[in-house]
Structure 1
Amino acid sequence: MSTVEKALAAALYGEGDEALDTGASLLAADPSADAELRLRGEEFVRRAWERGWQPADVVRLVRRDLDDTHELLAAGLITAETKRYGRRLAPRFRAQLDELAGLQPPRSDRFSHATALLELYRLLSRLPAIEPVGPVPGESLASVQASPHEPRMLGRIRALLAKAEATGYPEEAEALTAKAQELMARHSVDEALLAARTHSPDVPSACRIGVDAPYETAKAVLLDAVAAANRCRAVWNSAFAFSTVVGFESDLESVELLHTSLLVQGATALTKAESAQRAGGRRRTKTFRQSFWTAYASRLGEHLTAVADDVVTPDLLPVLASRDVAVASHTDRMFPETTTTRVRGATDPDGWQDGRAAADRAERRGPSPSSGHITRGRRH
């Protein structure tokens, strides 16, 4: 049995620090084991792809459960392992790799380095199978569709959302975000009409979007609202801090762009709301923030859906209905065991009012705090 095999047997199948120390001591004392240890790490990464994981999923989980050093080690392993596939990678998978480019782990002594690697390998070896959202690296890309967003259209949407994030005027941010949603909705309708006229084989696909703590429940509700407004469905996996969004490719890209922007806008608005709370002599609380995000998600869902619905005329309903059915069917195939769960409503009136005001300054007086709902995938 090689040094690496002995170290992995001790660290991966044991529990606690003592097992890790045993494995790390073996590796630290044997520099000749470094190459084999690296290859075993790449093997764990490859198994993660086969179980449905993608680079962003792995890095997000490592960041949550371990620390920055492990995140950098994971990025290095992922980059090394995927070199073997050349260009045989789906566009979304390749884009995730590009975000990892240039990340390097810090230098450390051999024992510390071995310990960190074994902690990372322990996590990777225990990843369960999850629903795949794309081909495994190296597989045929024949069924993978490129984004149908026109570069000019995508540029306009990005520019509108960037302005919404940067402006200090809430009414302007709302107007810019609404315009971006309108462009997204019109493009979605155009894609549906084109597919119907040309009898395109276009079918729904899926992507995963991280839903990070704190206040992840409210953020998942926000993502669900953005997905619904853009004719997609979102399924939240709370155990692994992501939602899987199912829809047609152009709509998925819209959801990713808009959700990211709304999180930035929401965080900025929350900071301002908390400053106002302090100025008024009131304490900031976790309940206030939770209520803020819940109200923010609720109001934006109403607003975005209304903007999208304004684009749809009665003659378009049959075409869009067929795509809605396709998305629902694809979601049911991917997630046959989902449940719809009501989430706890807002309990801080100030947080609720500030959250709604952040989503829509034109309507300060909203309905009373209420609960929402979210679709959850099965726990693994």
Structure 2
Amino acid sequence: MSAREIVERVRAGELDYETALDLLTGAPAAETDAALTAVLGAEFGRLFTNGWQPVELHRAIARRGNPIQGRLVADAAAAFLAGKDPVDDAWRAQATQLTSEDRRKLDRIAVLDASLDLLSELRRMPPIEILIPPPGVPATTVHHHADKRLLDRVRALLAKAEATDFPAEAEAYSAKAQELITRYRIEEVTAPVAGVVPFARRIGVDHPYENEKASLLDAVAKANACRTVWSPELGFSTIFGFDADIDAVELLHTSLLVQANRAMTRDEPAKGKARVKAFRRSFLVAYAIRIGERLREVAEREFAGRGDLLPVLRSRDVEVRAAMEKVFPRTVRSRASRVDSLEGWDSGRAAADEAQLR
């Protein structure tokens, strides 16, 4: 068999990559490299054309633990971008971000091994919803993100909340950040911009404890007029809402997760792997529930006495739900996480109270 035939059989699932590696090791290097470049390029093109963004695909592949494969994704994004017009600014920024990675020379056999293994993985990856138009496809929607100055102020406050070792101080910074976010949302509701509709964004959820971390994202989203759909097999949640609300949710979720990890590490048991695992899972379950309660209380207080806004808020909620159901017409409720550690539950509730947003 030629090198191209071997690679195509791996792509079709007819040949495992380890057998293919043995066959290709003795083949002419130029022929093998050309075959891999062509077939991998076709698979990357399929995925980039069908919804996968550079950072998303890089993250999904990098989770497998092989840095060479992450670098192959980065190179593929840059190659897919070349010569195409128009290019969405967000897509270009992601591709540029990835190309700044380590560029050290790699062992050829290691690259060959990683490439064949990657090809086996890519062929199983499904198309997903196109949220950012791929290079060469013009944009058909207009986004309306939160004001950059507001986001910078919120980032600065949350950075201070993450940096301090004093819970009361972290609470004050986080509370001020939520206050700014909520006030901006009220301004947006009272003076809506014509033509603005809900959109979706995918947010990666890292292991371990992905389900519990996705629950925290869902709690933050619901308190800020957004909805999420968790895709555990792909390692991300899709969040639906208006751009400014999604911006706020993403910032809050990232900061609260940092604060949760710090408190969890501080309070966890010193010994026993099983005990620590049960503690962390229970901690995150309780933390997400309590944070959700606190955030809803903040929203209710900020909107108190503004009954005139209720029709607009209901209308926006209907639009967000419709956007979600268009992409995910059939969803199922995920199974609730088990709470096996009362110690972890109590600690998670306490940590959420420390991070409460008034």
When normalised by structure 2's length, the TM-score is 0.90
Instruction: Call closer, same or farther: CA 1:346–1:126 in 2, change over 3 Å.
Output: same
In the other structure, the counterpart of 1:305 is: 296
1:333 equivalenced with 2:326 (yes/no): yes
Say yes or no: does 1:94 pair with 2:92.
yes
Q: Distance in 1 between matches of 2:55 and 2:41?
A: 16
Cα deviation, 1:230-275, whole Å, max 9, x if unaligned, reads 110000001111100001111111111111111111111111112x
Q: Which residue of 1 aligns with 2:56?
A: 57
| Residue matched to 2:80 | 81
Stretch of structure 1 that moved more, 163-172 or 108-117? 108-117
Q: CA deviation at 1:151?
A: 1.8
Return the alpha-carbon distance in structure 2 between the equivalents of residues 98 and 208 of structure 1.
19
Q: Of 254, 260, 263, which residue of structure 2 is paired with 1:260?
A: 254
Q: Please, which of 191, 195, 220 is the counterpart of residue 194 of structure 1?
A: 191
Unaligned runs of 5+ in 2: none
| Inter-partner Cα distance in structure 2 for 1:223 and 1:160 | 19
Aligned ranges 1:3-22 → 2 under 5 Å: 3-10=3-10, 12-22=12-22
- What is the Cα deviation at residue 32 of structure 1? 4.6
> CA–CA distance in 1 between the matches of 2:136 and 2:299?
38
Aligned residues of 2:54 and 2:73 also touching (Cα < 8 A):
no
Higher mean C-alpha deviation, range 94-103 or range 179-188? 94-103
CA contact (8 A) 1:291 1:348 kept: yes
Partner of 1:370: none
Partner of 1:150: 147
Q: 1:314 to 1:11 in 2, by over 3 A?
A: closer
Q: State yes or no: 1:72 paired with 2:67.
A: no
Deviation at 1:148, TM superposition (A): 2.7
Are 2:317 and 1:320 equivalent residues in the alignment? no
Which residue in the other structure is 1:294 paired with?
A: 285
| CA shift in 2, pair 1:211/1:317, >3 Å | same
Aligned partners of 1:4, 1:144: CA distance in 2, in Å?
43
Aligned residues: 354
Partner of 1:378: none
Higher deviation after alignment, 286-295 or 14-23? 14-23
CA distance in structure 2 between the partners assigned to 1:61 and 1:23 by the alignment: 28
Compute the displacement of 1:342 (Å).
4.0
Deviation at 1:128, TM superposition (A): 0.9
The 8 Å contact of residues 206 and 235 in structure 2, kept in 1 or not, is answered as yes
**Partner of 2:286: helix, strand, or coil?**
helix
**Helix, strand or coil at the partner of 1:136:** coil
How far did 1:97 drift?
2.5
% identical equivalent positions: 41
In structure 1, distance between residues paired with 2:256 and 2:113: 39
Whole-angstrom CA distance in 1 between matches of 2:65 and 2:14: 18
Q: Cα gap change, 1:339/1:34 in structure 2, threshold over 3 Å: closer, same or farther?
A: same
Q: Which amino acid is the alignment partner of residue 352 of structure 1? A: W
In the other structure, the counterpart of 2:179 is: 182
Aligned CA distance change for structure 1 residues 315 and 59 (closer, same or farther; 3 Å): same
- Give CA-to-partner distance per residue, 1:283-340, whole Å, 9 cap, x none: 8521011011111111111111211222212121111111111001111111001012
Of 135-144 and 303-312, the range deviating more from structure 2: 135-144
Q: Does 1:344 align with 2:343?
A: no
Q: Which residue of 2 aligns with 1:278?
A: 270
Instruction: Note closer, same or farther for the CA distance 1:362–1:214 as it changes in structure 2 (3 Å cut).
Output: closer
Does residue 108 of structure 1 match 2:100? no
Distance in 1 of aligned mates of 2:223 and 2:245: 10
Question: Displacement, 1:144?
Answer: 3.8
Write the deviation string for residues 23-79 of structure 1: whole angstroms up to 9, x where unpaired: 54265x332553453243232222102222112221121122352221122112212
CA-atom RMSD in angstroms: 2.5
The SS at the match of 2:176 is helix
5+ residue gaps in structure 1? 364-380
Deviation digits for residues 178-212 of structure 1 (CA, Å, limit 9, x no counterpart): 221221122122222222xx5x1111110000111
Deviates more, 1:217-226 or 1:250-259: 250-259
Distance 2:151 2:331 in 1: 32
| 1:355 counterpart (345, 348, 353) | 348
Q: Deviations over 1:102-157 (max 9, x none)?
A: 12455333322212111112222221122232323321113142x43222111101
TM (norm. structure 1) is: 0.85
Question: Are 1:240 and 2:239 counterparts?
Answer: no
Do the aligned partners of 1:90 and 1:135 also contact (CA within 8 Å) in 2? no
Letter in 2 for 1:240: L
Equivalent position SS for 1:338: coil
